[in-house]
Amino acid sequence: MKTNATGLFCITRAFGDEMARRGAGSIVNIGSIQGMVGPDFSLYEGLNMNTIPDYFSHKAGMVNLTRYFAAQYGPRGVRVNCLSPGGFYHSQHPAFVERYSQATFLRRMADTEDLGGPVIFLLSEAVRYVTGVNLPVDGGYTAH
C-alpha cells in the first residue's frame, strides 16, 4: 500500500501540482492488466508460483486514481493517463510462459522494448486530447 497507493498518490500530486502551476504537462502512471481482470489461476496450476490478491486491488485503484487526477488537473492543462502492461517475460517457469503466451493474441509475453513506444505515445502531443485513459499493452490478453 505504501508504494502502490500512497506513493502513487503523493508523487502524482507533487508532479501534477507543479505541472498545473505551469499550465501544461503529461503524467503516465504504469499500472498492470491485473487491475483490469481477475486472476486466471489455471496459468499457475502445478507450478510453484501464484498471484497475490492485494496486487489486483492496488492496480485497479491506480486506474481509477488516474481518472481522478485527470479530472483534477485537466482544467489546468495537465493530462493524466495510465498504461497497463501485461505478462512480462523474466525467466518464469517454461510451462507458465507457454500458457500465458497462448492466452494472448500475439502468442508471446512482453519484453522490455514493448513499453517505450506506448509511454512516448501517451506523453506526446499526438494525443493532446487524451486524458483519463487506461491503455492495456498486453498482446491482446484483455481483449478476450
pLDDT tens by residue, 78-129: 999 999 999 999 999 999 999 999 999 999 999 989 999 999 999 999 999 9
3-state secondary structure of 74: helix
- Can you give the residue range of the structural domain that contains 121? 2-143
Least trusted range by pLDDT, from 3-7, 25-29, 37-41: 3-7
Edge to edge, the sheet with strand 78-85 lists 25-30, 78-85, 134-137
What does pTM read for this prediction? 0.93
CB 79 within 8 Å of CB 128: yes
Q: How many domains does the chain have?
A: 1
How far are the Cα atoms of 2, 26, 27, 110 from residue 12, in angstroms, in the given order?
Answer: 14, 11, 8, 26
Overall average pLDDT of the 38-55 stretch = 92
3-state secondary structure of 133: coil
* pLDDT band at 50; cut points 50, 70, 90: confident
Burial class, 126, CB count within 10 angstroms (exposed 0-12 / middle 13-18 / buried 19+): exposed
Catalytic residues: 55
120-140 pLDDT tens trace: 999 999 999 999 999 999 999
Question: Over 11-56, what HEC string results?
Answer: HHHHHHHHHHHHCCEEEEEECCHHHCCCCCHHHHCCCCCCCCHHHH
CATH code where residue 102 lies: 3.40.50.720
How much of the chain, in percent, has pLDDT values that exceed 70?
100
